[in-house]
Amino acid sequence: MNLNLRTIKVLVELHCVSRAIALRAEVESWFSFLFNNLCIRLRPIRFCLCQCISAKHWQRCLPDYQRVFARGLASCLLLTLCIESPMVHAAQQQRLTAPKMVTPLKFGAVPQQSASKLAKVWLPLIQQLSQDSGLPLQFATAPDIPTFEARLANGEYDIAYMNPYHYVTFHQSSEYLALAKEAHKSLQGIIVVKNSAPMQRIEQLQERSIAFPAPAAFAASMVPQASLKQLAVQHDSHYVGSHDSVYLAVAKGVMDAGGGVVRTFNKMDPAIKQQLRIIWHSPEYTPHAIATHSRISAQREKLMGALVKVSKNKKGKALLSNLGFAGFTLATDADWNPIRELKLHELFTVPADKASTTDLSTEAK
Q: Does 215 score more than 80 pLDDT?
A: yes
Of 120, 94, 98, the C-alpha closest to 109 is: 120
pLDDT of residue 325: 92
From CA 104, how far away is CA 7, in angstroms rounded? 47
Alpha carbon 195 to chain centroid, angstroms: 40
Domains 105-186+287-346 and 187-286+360-364 share a fold: yes
Alpha carbon 339 to chain centroid, angstroms: 27
Radius of gyration of the chain (CA): 33
pLDDT of residue 113: 86
Summarised one tens digit per residue, pLDDT across range 332-352 is 999 999 999 988 877 665 444
**Contact (CB, 8 A) for 82 and 34:** yes
- Angle (CA) 252-256-257 rounded to 5° is 100
Summarised one tens digit per residue, pLDDT across range 98-136 is 556 679 999 999 998 889 999 999 999 999 999 999 999
Percent with pLDDT over 70 in the chain: 67
From CA 15, how far away is CA 30, in angstroms rounded? 9
From CA 90, how far away is CA 355, in angstroms rounded? 57
275: number of Cβ within 10 Å: 18
DSSP assignment letter at 286? -
From CA 277, how far away is CA 273, in angstroms rounded? 8
DSSP E strand boundaries for 92-175: 105-109, 137-140, 159-162
Task: Report whether CATH 3.40.190.10 matches the domain 187-286+360-364.
Answer: yes
193: number of Cβ within 10 Å: 24
DSSP assignment letter at 356? P
In this structure, which topology does domain 105-186+287-346 adopt according to CATH? D-Maltodextrin-Binding Protein; domain 2 (3.40.190)
Q: Which of 50-54, 99-103, 259-263, 267-271 has the least mean pLDDT?
A: 50-54
Name the CA dihedral angle for 73, 76, 80, 82, rounded to a multiple of 10 degrees: 90
pLDDT of residue 346: 73
44: number of Cβ within 10 Å: 7
From CA 87, how far away is CA 205, in angstroms rounded? 80
For 89, half-sphere exposure in the C-beta direction (CA atoms, 13 angstrom radius) is 6
Of 32, 48, 12, the C-alpha closest to 3 is: 12
How would residue 43 be classed by pLDDT, with cut points 50, 70 and 90?
Answer: very low
Summarised one tens digit per residue, pLDDT across range 5-27 is 555 555 555 555 555 444 444 44
62 Cβ contact list (under 8 Å, min separation 6): 17, 20, 21, 70
Summarised one tens digit per residue, pLDDT across range 168-185 is 999 999 999 999 999 998
Domain boundaries, the chain: 5-97, 105-186+287-346, 187-286+360-364
From CA 320, how far away is CA 324, in angstroms rounded? 6
Summarised one tens digit per residue, pLDDT across range 303-318 is 999 999 999 999 999 9
From CA 210, how far away is CA 238, in angstroms rounded? 6
**Contact (CB, 8 A) for 235 and 206:** yes
From CA 142, how far away is CA 241, in angstroms rounded? 10
Q: How far is CA 336 from CA 141, 221, 262, 288, 290, in A?
A: 23, 18, 19, 9, 12
